[in-house]
Amino acid sequence: MSNIPVLGFAANSGTGKTTLLSRLIPILNERGLKVGLIKHSHHDFDIDQPGKDSYRLRKAGASPVVLVSKHRRAVITELSAGEPTLKEQLYCFSDNSVDLIIVEGFKQESFPKIELYRLALNGPLLHSHDESIIAIASDDKLSTPLPLLDLNNPAQIADFITNQFLKTYA
């Protein structure tokens, strides 16, 4: 993989992964961390639009297409058959570009993850079948040997990331 710490957030659908991450990332940024993110989607998507130059050039056969302005960069790469792997996606990050890569998805792969669990969803816990889960963030008091974090307290989760997870990479 990469020399950059990679931490996943794994949960059943509807648990609130994106909601939590949208609250957690600004806290990590305030603490001086540059955070990159990889989100796996099970849906087909297009980020460029028909009629735009980047779309026309990609449809003409260019891959990757890098679209750049003074504000942001997008890399559009056509992928061949098969599900992408997390390892294949880490090339997007140079060793000095970010301090932490957060991953939403790729929960079947083995890399450090925090499991998110909501009691109301009554879904199965993932950590009993995934040894790479290093903590659980839940809205319920669970009996677990893993560190238990409050799913509704992103500052506490940020504390775990900065004071425990990232210390293993120091």
pTM of the model: 0.86
pLDDT at 66: 79
Residues 6+ apart with CB under 8 A from 135: 114, 115, 146, 147, 148, 149, 160
pLDDT tens sequence across 81-121: 678 888 888 877 877 789 999 999 888 899 999 999 999 99
List domains and CATH numbers for the chain: 6-40+85-169 (3.40.50.300), 42-83 (no CATH)
Per-residue pLDDT of 119-165, as tens digits, reads 999 888 999 899 999 999 999 999 999 999 999 999 999 999 999 99
Q: Residue 62 corresponds to which tokens in the numbers above?
A: 């260019």
Distance CA 67, CA 89 (A): 18
Rounded distance, CA 68 to CA 28, Å? 26
Q: pLDDT exceeding 70 applies to what percent of the chain?
A: 93
Per-residue pLDDT at 51 exceeds 90: no
Residue 44 has pLDDT above 60, yes or no: no
Confidence of residue 1 (pLDDT cuts 50, 70, 90): very low
How much is the pLDDT for 50?
Answer: 85
Residue 73, classed as helix, strand or coil, is strand
Mean per-residue pLDDT for 32-37?
A: 94
45 has pLDDT over 80? no
